[in-house]
Chain A
Amino acid sequence: MLAYIGKRLVIMLPTLLLIMAVGFFIMQLPAQDYVSQYVARQGQMGNTTAMLQEELLRQQLGLDKPPIERFFYWFFDFLRGDWGTSFVDSRPVTTIILERLPATLAISSLAFLVSWGVGIPLGVYSATHQYKTGDVALTTLAFIGIGLPDFLVAMFFLVAAFLASGQVLLGLNSPEFVNAPWTLARILDFFSYAWLSVTAVAFTGMALIMRVTRNNMLEELGKPYVLTLRAKGLPERVVIWKHVFRNALHPLVTMFGQVLAFLINGFAITSAVLNLPTIQSVYLSATFQQDIFLAGAILILIAVTVMVGNLISDVMLAWLDPRVRYD
């Protein structure tokens, strides 16, 4: 197994290089680049001198060199740890990402915990009480969660919370706590805002997990070995949780790989709509404005998390299911 893991890690490198190359060139495809968009916006606001400086700006930002040359500069700088500067606010990309990392991880992990932690038990319940009222109610809720776009759900929650409490729960803290030290007051303030975002994000995820768990459980429950276990006299609880549930987990495990990527690539539009200071929301704006270093760095992070997530999935699958062997 260790050899397998080692091999996978080694293969990740050329894949990563390929992703970097393809991603970089994809971002060059639109005819506009950051400078032309910038000049256009400035022109609209009355700053006509920006037009005269277009070439100069390009030179400054290094955008006048041919793409291949820029790619190699970027690639080698990246490996050295220099991830470039954001064109938009001239700050180093690493600073921006690190600044947003805590909030991103906080919301994503909380949402993950809620959606999996609540979704799985509810899914098991749904399966074991198939077609009873509880199942019907949960299934309906699940469909609403899956059927609606997550940013629409977020908007709903925002308005509902506003009507109920008069609080505008955009972002993750009240203005006075920006950059304040992490006192108890700040932690409480954080949760008073975060519950909205976490609920909105977890709602869709939970619905999905619930459905998948339910389906897997139902499938397992139909298998003959369940009958055998019951015939043996094992209590239902043991049958369900020790045997059926463990088997039903397998497809979920393959989905686990996506969770890692979800941490920084999920709920992007909801982030933007709720003004969350996450990596996702800055990724959206960076992509649209063609802020290529920032967008490129986040792209790499997403790719790495996807690959590592997949590796974890495969390893966990092998660990859980003795029938699976990697030769």
Chain B
Amino acid sequence: MTELAAAGALAPATADADAGTAKVLSVRQLAWRKFRKNRLAVFGLVVLALMYLSAAFAGFLAPYGDRETHAQFARVGPHGLNLVDTEGQFHLTPFVYGLERTMDRKTFKQVLTVDTEKRYELRWLVKGAPYTLLGFIKSDVHLFGVEGDGKLFLLGTDSKGRDLFSRILYGAQVSLTVGLVGVALSLFIGISVGLITGYYGGWFDEIVQRIIEMTLAFPQIPLWLALAALVPPTWNSIQIYFAISLVLSILSWGALARQVRAMVLSLKTSDFVRAAKYANASTGRIMFKHLLPGTMSHVLVVATLTIPAMILGETALSFLGLGIKPPMTSWGLLLNEAQSVQVILELPWLLFPAVFVVLTIISFNFVGDGLRDAADPFSR
């Protein structure tokens, strides 16, 4: 029966809430309804939307600018908001305590003292470091912050005294966007090639398979090194990363193409395809309206797993010194700075970006699952 559905047969009529009129919903509308019912998928979508919005408005949401350093407060743990002060009094407006920093010359440890005498209240719409939103809106108003000498380090600071919470927001701008174009391209090429070669087979299929093998067997690391060496030094970090990830995605469509091809190979002998052929459906129609939906769920799963792979790929590149370089920041770079025994033992808050990475990936996966379930109206 899946075949029938895929053949674009009439969707079953559904009754409306106020009984009486029977409404005919298209497959797409059905799918959206299905999706909405999947709570996890919706949760994922909401989280992603929030993430992307936050990234877009990072300058406004972050209490500090992307280059702002607080040198005397480097390597400080989370120093956040309090509602109840030391006397047990509750304050409606949250506040932070003052902060003092000295180095103990004997143990070489930084000693942090919280000064409970000084209180800095949380303020909204404070003036802070200037930033640019969406490339053209210039402003210096931040959503929240503290004034004067107060410091608000919600997630602590890094080794150079930069607020981690702010950096995570700025890093999101790079991490959440830079892989998308590459993935999209990769998917487009991979699906098209997989469909075509799986359907036609023959010597064309053979040649393409060999080309895919070649691209998959390609040594990635030397390729990265070589590309890194060829890139003009005048390009900034983001341009370099775009270029490299573009090239790499063009090379990675192979895996997806093979999987699509495998599914097409098994599907093309099935009845509904033969039926479509007898009905004189054009090859294009067969491929896009019949075969493609059958591969859709697997493709979606792969897509939602590829984006995280790009985010992680960027981490690996940062580790090898080949990707984004400071002063640009990305989650991969933030995690890379946390990659040491000393950090794990003494500055564990620097691992926080991992939470955001995992959250993003979970969200993409839930959305992917939801889409897959929704695309197949007969799944449970």
The interface of chain A, by Cβ under 8 A from chain B, is 11, 15, 18-19, 22-23, 26-27, 29-32, 140, 143-144, 146-149, 151-152, 155-156, 158-159, 208, 211-212, 215-216, 218-219, 221-224, 250-251, 254, 257-258, 261, 268-269, 283-284, 287-288, 295, 299, 302-303, 306-307, 310, 317, 321, 323-325, 327
Contacts and interface: CB of A to CB of B under 8 A. Distances in A.
Contact of A147 (B308, B372, B376): B308
A56 B301 CA distance: 56
B213 A149 contact: no
B372 A254 contact: no
B319 A148 contact: no
A15 B214 contact: yes
A78 B119 CA distance: 73
Contacts of A144: 358
Nearest to B355: A147
A211 B365 CA distance: 10
The 8 closest A-B pairs by CB, nearest first: A222-B379, A147-B358, A29-B226, A303-B217, A30-B229, A306-B217, A147-B361, A323-B266
A26 B222 CA distance: 7
B214 A327 contact: no
B380 A221 contact: yes
Interface stretch (B70-78, B159-167, B339-347): B339-347
B361 A158 contact: no
Main secondary structure of the interface of B (DSSP, over half): helix
B230 interface: yes
Contacts of B58: none
Given A250-B266, A299-B219, 19 more contacts: A19-B214, A30-B229, A32-B229, A143-B361, A146-B308, A147-B358, A147-B361, A151-B319, A152-B354, A155-B340, A156-B344, A159-B344, A215-B372, A222-B376, A222-B378, A224-B2, A284-B221, A310-B213, A323-B267
Contacts of A284: 221, 320
A222 B222 contact: no
Contacts of B358: 143-144, 147-148
Contact of A317 (B262, B298, B357): B262
B2 A327 contact: no
B297 interface: yes
Nearest to B221: A287
B221 A11 contact: no
Contact of B229 (A29, A317, A324, A327): A29
B202 A323 contact: no
A283 B220 CA distance: 11
